[in-house]
Structure 1
């Protein structure tokens, strides 16, 4: 049986500049083994499967259910697949039941909104054009300080000194993220990590840009990024993730409105020759929204045995 398929580039309005996600539509009949095998075959950071909401999801207003797979296994939540899947569902003719889109996934219900203006400043996009979408960050499953042993492991994995870590925290909203801040964006970009020393860590790194230091990183009319972010997840079969919504959500919950502004743009993917832009907004009530541009790059069909 053939299933409709889209590959969506997320966190960039310029195709091939962000982080792609493979989206399989009408996937209710697929088995776990089929999903896992296809995710390994695409070899992308994540592959998603669109399904009918469960009874609980429908009762909560879910428009669709999604299962999210890496080459190494299934995740309860991830950010760039959330935006890319919503883009694919809307482009295929999905009509939200309420004011925004509601996704059901492993962490429950996730709200999304259509912000309407991409980084190329094109308004009123038709469905087959780039869209600016944003999701409400789910609550952190684990937060708070990182113990000394983990900080030592993190420093070894990043090939830096423990004293180079400005601050650290657990920012886990599903994938298992732990994050550290370095002195600046240049220190983040200079990292050459050791994946063996990293072990099972799902590690995010963030560093601030100085005033006037980011002109060379501007893309498509986007606002200047405040930080550079990198994400390392070798245990998921992904050495470095190009652009990461869930990690940026956790960093926004951790540092937004305190160390960082309440609203800012994160750059991610620079070290991989990508140009990801993640728009983070922390509201006065503490809720964090994570947005970015999404654009379809491939449309077709896929067969499963």
Structure 2
């Protein structure tokens, strides 16, 4: 719309692109955070902007007054809106902290189907407290499918049977005996199709115990190449519900992709059954989008 001076009336939307689970820029999981978006913006407009940004995920903080600990957040891929925040919550906290919106040390992010509380500790780890996922055991029939993916019965950890993990994209979680066994896994597109048809799962998380309180993970899906936050949430939920972990514990998850820094998992530290995911965040790009009206 033109104003009286025949100039386009524009609105500036500032953003910061951050890399989550990274020690350096251009590593980790990128997410673009718009931190000052009008609450009345319609879904179609946000989806169009996310598509225009063309990043893996774009997060819009649509309501977060200065000094408030509660912010409304909407997360989009170029194709659709997501109902849970995942690693984007850590990126949002980093950006909001830089903008002076976390004076009380923590912030509450509310999305469509997920509510998380984020804070930073004295070692600059950003943490999000989230509800554990309801992990369920899988029928033994999954063993034959895993064998087709390169995981014979001797490679699978007999003390930690495979499980199904509900999430934005339901997953199968499997534990193998060694990091060497992780390298043997080959999941083709046909394997992913079978996994979807048989168990309604969209991806496979494979983890191996690599030290005291440490796991190495690989992720296979048509949707994302690497999803360390989702793997960490699945691991923490499994340890709580399937392994019966009741002590306050801290675990470290690394991936076989060197672009990603460690992801930390804390269990039972806030209260019995609590789950927290932590990692480092760095800023890579700052800018603003001018929207003509």
Aligned partner (choices 123, 143, 148) of residue 135 of structure 2: 143
Q: Give the C-alpha shift of residue 41 in structure 1.
A: 4.7
State the distance in 2 between where 1:146 and 1:193 align.
Answer: 18
> CA separation in 1, counterparts of 2:27 and 2:274?
28
* Mapped partners of 2:282, 2:127: distance in 1: 14
In the other structure, the counterpart of 2:13 is: 3
Match of 1:65 in 2: 72
Identify if the C-alpha distance between structure 1 residues 12 and 193 changes in structure 2 by more than 3 Å, giving closer, same or farther.
same
State how far apart, in whole Å, the 2-side matches of 1:163 and 1:43 are.
Answer: 43
TM-score by length of 1: 0.74
**Equivalent residue for 2:233, pick from 244, 249, 269:** 249
Q: 2:121 aligns with which of 115, 119, 123?
A: 115
Aligned residue in 2 for 1:183 = 177
Q: Which residue of 2 aligns with 1:281?
A: 266
| Correspondence 1:164 to 2:187 | no
The change in CA–CA distance for 1:209 and 1:25 in structure 2 (over 3 A counts) is same
The 3 A distance-change label for structure 1 pair 114 and 159 is same
Gaps in structure 1 of 5+ consecutive residues: 54-60, 119-131, 212-224
Deviation (angstroms), 1:86: 1.2
Runs of 4+ in structure 1 deviating by more than 6 angstroms, as ranges, are none
**Secondary structure of 2:135's match?**
strand
* RMSD over aligned Cα atoms: 3.0
Does structure 2 conserve the Cα–Cα contact (< 8 Å) formed by 1:145 and 1:169? Answer: yes
Shift of 1:87: 0.9
How has the CA–CA distance of structure 1 residues 114 and 18 changed in structure 2, closer, same or farther, with 3 Å as cutoff?
Answer: same
Structure 1 residues 133, 160: CA separation in 2 closer, same or farther (over 3 Å shift)? same
1:35 aligns with: 46
The answer to whether the aligner puts 1:133 opposite 2:126 as a matched pair is: yes
Are positions 1:48 and 2:40 aligned together?
no
Q: Structure 1 residues 29, 192: closer, same or farther in 2, change over 3 A?
A: farther
Secondary structure of the equivalent of 1:264? Answer: strand
Q: Deviations over 1:174-221 (max 9, x none)?
A: 44233111122232244332134213413222111157xxxxxxxxxx
Match of 2:89 in 1: 82
**Count of aligned pairs between the two proteins:** 263
Q: Secondary structure at the match of 1:263?
A: strand
Give distance in 2, aligned partners of 1:39 and 1:187: 38
> Runs of 5+ in structure 2 lacking a partner?
1-10, 197-201
Greater C-alpha Rg: 2
The CA deviation at 1:39 is 3.6
Give the conservation status (yes or no) of the 8 Å contact 1:253–1:286: no
In the alignment, what sits opposite 2:217? 229
